[in-house]
Structure 1
Amino acid sequence: MNATDTRLAAWDVLGTRLSGVRGSIDAMKESDLAGWNVRKVDLSASEVTDTGVTTLEVPDRWATVRTNPTTGGTEYLGVVGSHYQPIQNEEHATLLDAVIDTGDAQWVAAGASHGGKRTFMTMRLPDEVQIGGKDALGLYLVAFNSHDGSSSFKFAVTPVRVACTNMQAAALKGAVSSFSIRHTAGAGRELAEARRALDLTYKYVETFEAEAEALLAQRYTNAEFDKFAGTLFGVQDEGKASKRALANRDGMIALYRDSDTLDGIRGTRWGAYQAATEFIDHVAPVRGRNQALARATRSFDGASQRTKQAAFALLGA
Structure 2
Amino acid sequence: MSTIEIAPAATRRPAWDVLGTRLEGVRGSIDAMKESDLAGWNVRKVPLFFEDDSPAWDGARRDVADRYATVRTNPQTGGTEYIGVVGGTYTPIQNEAHAELLDAVLDTADAKWEAAGASHGGKRTFMTMRLPEDIMVGGKDAVGLHLVAFNSHDGSSSFKFAVTPVRVSCTNMQSAALRGAKSKFSIRHTSGAGRALSEAREALGLTYKYVEAFELEAERLLATPMTVGAFDAYAAELFGVRDEDKASKKALANRDGLMDLYRSSDTLDGIRGTKWGAYQTVTEFIDHVAPVRGRDVARARATRSFDGAAERLKAAAFALVG
Q: Normalised by the size of structure 1, how large is the TM-score?
A: 0.93
1:5 pairs with 7, 10, 30, which one? 10
CA displacement at 1:152 relative to structure 2: 2.2
Contact persistence 1:43–1:58 (CA under 8 A): yes
CA displacement at 1:2 relative to structure 2: 6.9
1:45 aligns with 2:50: yes
Contact persistence 1:92–1:143 (CA under 8 A): no
CA displacement at 1:179 relative to structure 2: 1.0
1:66-123 deviation per Cα after TM superposition (whole angstroms, max 9, x unaligned): 0110111111111111221222111344432122334741111111112111111101
1:257-278 deviation per Cα after TM superposition (whole angstroms, max 9, x unaligned): 1111111111100011111111
Q: Name the SS of the counterpart of 2:131 in structure 1.
A: strand
Contact persistence 1:120–1:145 (CA under 8 A): yes
Contact persistence 1:158–1:167 (CA under 8 A): yes
Which amino acid in 2 is paired with 1:42? Answer: P
1:279-316 deviation per Cα after TM superposition (whole angstroms, max 9, x unaligned): 11100112222222111101111111100111110111
Between 1:283-292 and 1:161-170, the stretch displaced more is 283-292
Which amino acid in 2 is paired with 1:89? Answer: N
Contact persistence 2:98–2:189 (CA under 8 A): no
Distance 1:302 1:201 in 2: 20
Between 1:121-130 and 1:82-91, the stretch displaced more is 82-91
1:182-239 deviation per Cα after TM superposition (whole angstroms, max 9, x unaligned): xxxx734797735413311220110010011000111111001111011111111111
2:212 maps to 206
1:148 pairs with 154, 157, 162, which one? 154
Equivalent residue runs for 1:44-123 within 5 Å:
44-50=49-55, 52-102=58-108, 104-123=110-129
1:27 aligns with 2:32: yes
2:303 maps to 297
Contact persistence 1:123–1:141 (CA under 8 A): yes
Equivalent residue runs for 1:269-284 within 5 Å:
269-284=275-290
Contact persistence 1:170–1:313 (CA under 8 A): yes
Distance 1:83 1:193 in 2: 25
Q: Normalised by the size of structure 2, how large is the TM-score?
A: 0.92
1:162 maps to 168
CA displacement at 1:253 relative to structure 2: 1.0
Q: Name the SS of the counterpart of 1:236 in structure 2.
A: coil
Q: Name the SS of the counterpart of 2:132 in structure 1.
A: strand
Which amino acid in 1 is paired with 2:36? Answer: S
CA displacement at 1:241 relative to structure 2: 1.0
Distance 1:93 1:302 in 2: 26
1:263 maps to 269
Q: Name the SS of the counterpart of 1:202 in structure 2.
A: helix
CA distance 1:245–1:92, change in 2 (3 Å)? farther
Unaligned runs of 5+ in 1: none
Distance 1:239 1:103 in 2: 53
2:203 pairs with 194, 197, 202, which one? 197
CA displacement at 1:4 relative to structure 2: 2.2
Contact persistence 1:136–1:163 (CA under 8 A): yes
Distance 2:109 2:232 in 1: 45
What is the CA RMSD across the aligned residues, in angstroms? Answer: 1.8
Distance 1:227 1:13 in 2: 33
Distance 1:214 1:87 in 2: 42
Unaligned runs of 5+ in 2: 1-5
Q: Name the SS of the counterpart of 2:11 in structure 1.
A: coil
CA distance 1:309–1:2, change in 2 (3 Å)? same
CA displacement at 1:247 relative to structure 2: 1.0
Contact persistence 2:7–2:288 (CA under 8 A): no
1:38-81 deviation per Cα after TM superposition (whole angstroms, max 9, x unaligned): 11122222233435422122331221110110111111111111
2:135 pairs with 129, 133, 138, which one? 129
Between 1:199-208 and 1:188-197, the stretch displaced more is 188-197
1:7-61 deviation per Cα after TM superposition (whole angstroms, max 9, x unaligned): 1100111111112212212211111111001111222222334354221223312
